[in-house]
Chain A
């Protein structure tokens, strides 16, 4: 298990001391995280790291995963798509089935002093609040900028029952009667996906996939989901390839609560056709080292999302000092300040233009990457995330714009 002190060489001794200082203010409080999946996807990844680190700081942090049947996850996938602005139809019977699963789970959970609910799947657990009188926080990890009105209306009656709602990006804020807090997620610099690795390891991964490191490599790492626009990435590649030599890598996996991954992958493979310079890699969940190597060995990293909760792959790429082009959606503009720490684009053509620029101007690309790494170090590592969560929990018990602890 990674010790909290191991982060000191990266973020500084003082930053770790400050976490202990904050954690003291939560003594005697049980903080309970609840989500819907133990593996796969960004939420489970964050909690896997976060909960043990909170406990090392002396916080009584717990993590429960709600249980749901196949029907429940089909419904929550509809919610997911609908909240991302995709037209979906949810019947009254499905809404009721969703709540029934929440109620069944509520009967089996021993709730803490602060209940921290992640995403819409367990949102209905808050119905139990009136019996308990404890504190409830709702953490939305997904892009909430254009939610389906009907689904939002259904969820809103639960959201307003929480003490605060937490969003990953400013554009997700709603007109709500409860405080809304911005907490971007984070990456772990010591994880398999982000730790330093030797050049030989990078070479060996590239060799295994048949990718030539001596030629420019443009890579997008993300789940095969059409909201990540893998087909748009291929189009941008084809435009840029007319003028610069390059290979394109599209690599990603799926999550246990995402049944659509394989179908999107098939579309990507069809679109890629017979271009030997396009590598479409469907990676299993245990591929963190491969992702690390692919990011580190690439010339330019893309995250051309059409919608995005936050886009942790952008933080991963920037942490590795890679020049990164991201779609100006969701949490990506928080990570990339255009032309300072990366490039923001809004179109296939714009993405193609900047791919060419960054391949042809490696010195400018290097500077963007260096600034990007520093930005991630200061704002998007797990230690900052822990600090924000500690503050969130503490803030429930205080009032005012300036609080003296």
Chain B
């Protein structure tokens, strides 16, 4: 069996100095922003409000709904199913398509009040190896119970989308060590619909079930 080294990630938030005061401005920003900006605005609430389920939606949807008061577009943007996307560019295209469709329908363009503009930001990620290495499933479970949610976040969310590995690191390791049923079970989770602690518990439960089966 191969080893699994647990990593932890840290995010630095960069301010891009660009802002939008209406939906066309938001669209322009989403089109031109770097991928690390799209990643930031689709994952910030998830990290910061990881104890809430459902957590507030992505930043674009929150701003359109709460600041511009456009509930229709806000609902469309908040329903973007992030788990379906394997790339940030695909995620960006989906937001662009929704907003362009909304604008072409003749929707009224609302301006935000001064001071409530949408500020474009970005995430810079620092990943570091932890001292924790699992040599088997039992050790994996013990370690997963004690690492921070930043470790869980790195291996589940960052691995697939930010680091473009195609899938989460846990499933990849399970697969490579002959635990394909467990890999599939973890792969099939929609991590965006759990609190991070809930997700940790769910993965732990799946590993226990796999052992008992």
Contact = CB atoms under 8 A, between A and B. Distances in A.
Interface stretch (B90-98, B110-118, B169-177): B110-118
Given A173-B119, A374-B51, A401-B124, A180 B130 contact: no
Could you tell me the dominant secondary structure of chain B's interface residues? Answer: mixed
B17 A174 contact: yes
A340 B119 contact: no
Given A18-B150, A22-B128, A404-B127, A395 B12 contact: yes
Interface in B101-138: 113, 115-117, 119, 121, 124-128, 130
Contacts of A392: 12
A173 B117 CA distance: 12
A183 B125 CA distance: 15
Interface string B32-61: 001110000000010011111000100000
B131 to A, nearest CB: 8
Contacts of A171: 115, 117, 119
B15 interface: yes
A13 B146 contact: yes
B66 interface: yes
A395 B124 contact: yes
Contacts of B12: 181, 388, 391-392, 395
Contact of B14 (A18, A180, A388): A180
Given A13-B146, A18-B8, A171-B119, A181 B127 contact: no
Interface residues of A, number: 45
A402 interface: yes
Interface size class of B (residues with CB under 8 A): 35 or more
Contacts of A379: 48
Contacts of B35: 401
B155 to A, nearest CB: 14
Contact of B51 (A12, A179, A378, A387): A378
Nearest to A380: B48
A21 B130 contact: yes
Interface in A14-53: 14-15, 17-18, 21-22
Contacts of B115: 145, 171, 328-329
Contacts of A391: 10, 12, 126
A378 B50 contact: yes
B17 A175 contact: yes
B10 A387 contact: yes
A172 B50 CA distance: 26
10 contacts: A173-B15, A174-B17, A180-B15, A328-B115, A337-B62, A340-B56, A378-B51, A391-B10, A402-B125, A405-B127
